[in-house]
C-alpha cells in the first residue's frame, strides 16, 4: 500500500469516494488493536515514549484542525498546550485535585484562551496571524517563570496523583493518553460531517459564499480557533499526566514550531493514523537524534521547509504567502 495513504488517510478530501475509507477503517482498527496489547509485550521506556507520542499527536491534530478547517497556521500552539499542562499541575499542587476535575477545567481554559486570542485577531490572517500566535508562544516561558509561586518557575511542577488509584502507573498513563487520542479522532471524524464542520469547510474555501448562506467570517474564525485551542489544551493535560512533570522548557517556541512540522508532515490529517505519524515524528525523532544536540532545530527547520515546499499544493500554508485575497 502506498505510503501516502498511511500518512494521508483523508486523501478523501480531494475525492470523497466511498471505497477507500473502508480500508482505512480496517487499518486504523488494526493499529488500535496493536497499541492496545502493546503494554503486555514491551518495556516501560517504550510505553513512556508512546504515551508522549499520543499526547503530542493530539497537539499536532489541534494545529491540523486549524489549518484544515480554518485555512490558518499557528506557530504558537505551545501556549495552549502549556495552559492545559499547567492547569493540571497547578490544580494538583495547590488544590490537591486530580485529573478527573483538572482535565475538564483544562479544556475550559483552552477554550477560553482560544476565544480570548481569536476575538481580537479575527481579522488577521496568513503570516500576520502566524506572527501573532508566535508572540503568545514567546511570552510563555517568561510568564511561567514570573509566576513562580504558582508554576514552580524553572523547575516546574510534578504530577503524582493517579487517575485510577491502585493501577500500575505506566499502564494508566499509556492507556489514558491512547484513549484521549482515540476519542479526539472519533470526535473529529464525526465533526467532519456536522453542520459546523461543513460550514467551516465552506467558509475556508469561499468566505463570501459562506457569508451568503449565513456563515460569517468571525463565527468561522472564532469557532475554529476555540476548537483548536481546546484540543491543544487537552494535549497539554495529557502530556502533564503522561510525563508526570511540567516545566517551561517543554513549551518553548520550538515546541510550537514542532507541532506545525508534525501537522505538515501528517498532511494536516485529523485521522488517527495521520495524527500518529505527526505525533510520532515530533516525539520519537528527537529521542533518536539526541546525539545531534544543537542540530535538532536545524534539522527540523530544514524538514519543515522541504515538506512545505513539496506538499503545500493543497493546504492553508499557501495563505502564508502574501497577496492571496479571499
Partner 1 sequence: MAIIHAEAAPETRGALVASGINLSFGGIDVLKGVDLDLRPGLVTGLIGPNGAGKTSLFNCLTGLYHPNRGRIALGDTALDVLSPARRAGLGMVRSFQHMALSPDLTLLENVMTGLTLSRRSGWGSAFLPMPRGRAETQDARRRAMAALDELGIAGAADLAPPELPPGTQRLGEIARALVGGPKVLLLDEPAAGLNAVETRDLTRALRRVMHPALIMVVVEHDMDLIMQLCDQIYVLNFGKVIACGSPEAVQADPEVLRVYLGAGDE
Binding site for partner 1 (CB under 8 A): 13-18, 187-188, 190-191, 193-199, 201-202, 204-206, 208-216
Cα maximum dimension of the chain: 58
DSSP per-residue string spanning 137-184: HHHHHHHHHHTHHHH-TTT-EE----SSTTS-HHHHHHHHHHHHHHHH
Residue 245 phi, psi dihedral angles, 5° rounding: -155, 150
Q: Supply 174's cell numbers.
A: 499509556
Q: Find the shortest distance in angstroms from Cβ 184 to partner 1.
A: 9
Q: Find the shortest distance in angstroms from Cβ 235 to partner 1.
A: 16
Q: What is d(CA 318, CA 300) in angstroms, rounded to the nearest whole number?
A: 20
User: Looking at the DSSP assignment, which residues form a beta bridge with residue 246?
Assistant: 157
Q: What is d(CA 134, CA 289) in angstroms, rounded to the nearest whole number?
A: 25
Nearer to partner 1, 86 or 225 (CB): 225
**224, 243, 192: which is closest to 55 by C-alpha?**
243
Long-range contacts of 305-311 (CB under 8 A, 24+ apart): 307/261, 307/264, 307/265, 308/264, 311/264, 311/267
What is the total residue count of the chain? Answer: 326
Q: Find the shortest distance in angstroms from Cβ 59 to partner 1.
A: 18
Q: Find the shortest distance in angstroms from Cβ 270 to partner 1.
A: 12
What burial class does residue 302 get, using C-beta atoms within 10 Å of its C-beta: 0-12 exposed, 13-18 middle, 19+ buried?
exposed
Classified as helix, coil or strand, 1 is coil
Q: Find the shortest distance in angstroms from Cβ 187 to partner 1.
A: 4
Q: Find the shortest distance in angstroms from Cβ 83 to partner 1.
A: 20
- Through-space distance between the first and last CA atoms of the chain, rounded to whole angstroms: 37
Nearer to partner 1, 120 or 214 (CB): 214
Nearer to partner 1, 161 or 206 (CB): 206
Nearer to partner 1, 212 or 310 (CB): 212
Nearer to partner 1, 139 or 196 (CB): 196
Nearer to partner 1, 206 or 318 (CB): 206
Nearer to partner 1, 49 or 196 (CB): 196
Q: What is d(CA 262, CA 4) in angstroms, rounded to the nearest whole number?
A: 15
Residue 322 phi, psi dihedral angles, 5° rounding: -70, 160
Nearer to partner 1, 170 or 189 (CB): 189
Q: Find the shortest distance in angstroms from Cβ 216 to partner 1.
A: 5
Q: Find the shortest distance in angstroms from Cβ 204 to partner 1.
A: 7
Amino acid at each position: 500500500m502506498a505510503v501516502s495513504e498511511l500518512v494521508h488517510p483523508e486523501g478523501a478530501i480531494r475525492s470523497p469516494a466511498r471505497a477507500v475509507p473502508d480500508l482505512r477503517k480496517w487499518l486504523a482498527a488494526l493499529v488500535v488493536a496493536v497499541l492496545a496489547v502493546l503494554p503486555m509485550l514491551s518495556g516501560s521506556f517504550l510505553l513512556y515514549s508512546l504515551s508522549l507520542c499520543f499526547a503530542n499527536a493530539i497537539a499536532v491534530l489541534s494545529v491540523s484542525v486549524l489549518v484544515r478547517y480554518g485555512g490558518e497556521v499557528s506557530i504558537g500552539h505551545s501556549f495552549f498546550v502549556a495552559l492545559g499542562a499547567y492547569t493540571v499541575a497547578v490544580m494538583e499542587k495547590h488544590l490537591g485535585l486530580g485529573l478527573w476535575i483538572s482535565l475538564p477545567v483544562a479544556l475550559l481554559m483552552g477554550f477560553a484562551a482560544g476565544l480570548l486570542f481569536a476575538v481580537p485577531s479575527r481579522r488577521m490572517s496568513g503570516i500576520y496571524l502566524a506572527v501573532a500566535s508566535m508572540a503568545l508562544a514567546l511570552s510563555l516561558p517568561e510568564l511561567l517563570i514570573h509566576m513562580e509561586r504558582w508554576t514552580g518557575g524553572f523547575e516546574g511542577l510534578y504530577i503524582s496523583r493517579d487517575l485510577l488509584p491502585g493501577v500500575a502507573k505506566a499502564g494508566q498513563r499509556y492507556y489514558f493518553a491512547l484513549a484521549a487520542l482515540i476519542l479526539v479522532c472519533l470526535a473529529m471524524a464525526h465533526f467532519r460531517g456536522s453542520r459546523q464542520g461543513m460550514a467551516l469547510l465552506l467558509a475556508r474555501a469561499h468566505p463570501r459564499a459562506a457569508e451568503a448562506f449565513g456563515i460569517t467570517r468571525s463565527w468561522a474564525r472564532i469557532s475554529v480557533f476555540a476548537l483548536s485551542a481546546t484540543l491543544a489544551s487537552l494535549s497539554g493535560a495529557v502530556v502533564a499526566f503522561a510525563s508526570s512533570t511540567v516545566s517551561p522548557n517543554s513549551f518553548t517556541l520550538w515546541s510550537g514550531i514542532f507541532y506545525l512540522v508534525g501537522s505538515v508532515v501528517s498532511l494536516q490529517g485529523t485521522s488517527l493514523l495521520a495524527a500518529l505519524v505527526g505525533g510520532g515524528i515530533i516525539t520519537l525523532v528527537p529521542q533518536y537524534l539526541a546525539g545531534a544536540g544543537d542540530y535538532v532545530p536545524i534539522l527540523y527547520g530544514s524538514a519543515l521547509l522541504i515538506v512545505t515546499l513539496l506538499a503545500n499544493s493543497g493546504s492553508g500554508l499557501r495563505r502564508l504567502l502574501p497577496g492571496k485575497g479571499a
